[in-house]
Homo-oligomer: A and B are copies of this chain.
Amino acid sequence: MRKFTSTNAFNEKLINDSCGMGRALNIVGGRWKPAILYKLHNGTMRYGELRKSIEGISERMLVAQLRELEQDQVIERIVYPEVPPRVEYRMTELGKTMGPMLEAMSEWGDIHRANVADKYGNPGDGEK
């Protein structure tokens, strides 16, 4: 849980309030959210499908990030009262409005990769 009185939290709020970019980043940022959003961008998925298709994610992180995205109203959680349980996740209408932004980010990431070696030592793809 966060303390809303720390300087850190205060600054986060300040930026969230004053800057659209800051707010967008608060929602799509984080280690796993890009992957989750990318998957759900292509359609509804069950919890287990997400877990299997996102390499390296732990259950705790998957649940946590799904919950945050749900709170931010960009995805929704649909529970089927079956046993064993079935839970599906999908984009909300508001979530779907992220499309252009997600594509712009994805494209620019690729542009950057094509031009710049990253800090892990992967070379850029070269200029020509």
Contact = CB atoms under 8 A, between A and B. Distances in A.
A112 B8 CA distance: 22
A35 B23 contact: no
Contacts of A122: 17
Contacts of A98: 108
Given A21-B38, A38-B21, A116-B72, A14 B56 contact: yes
Nearest to A17: B122
Interface string A1-43: 0001001101111111101111111011101101101100000
A51 interface: no
Contacts of A8: 31
A13 B72 CA distance: 26
Majority DSSP secondary structure for residues of A touching B: helix
Contact of A101 (B10, B13, B104): B104
A26 to B, nearest CB: 8
Interface in A70-121: 71-73, 94, 97-98, 100-102, 104-113, 115-116, 118-120
A7 B108 CA distance: 26
A21 B34 contact: yes
A112 B35 contact: no
A25 B105 contact: yes
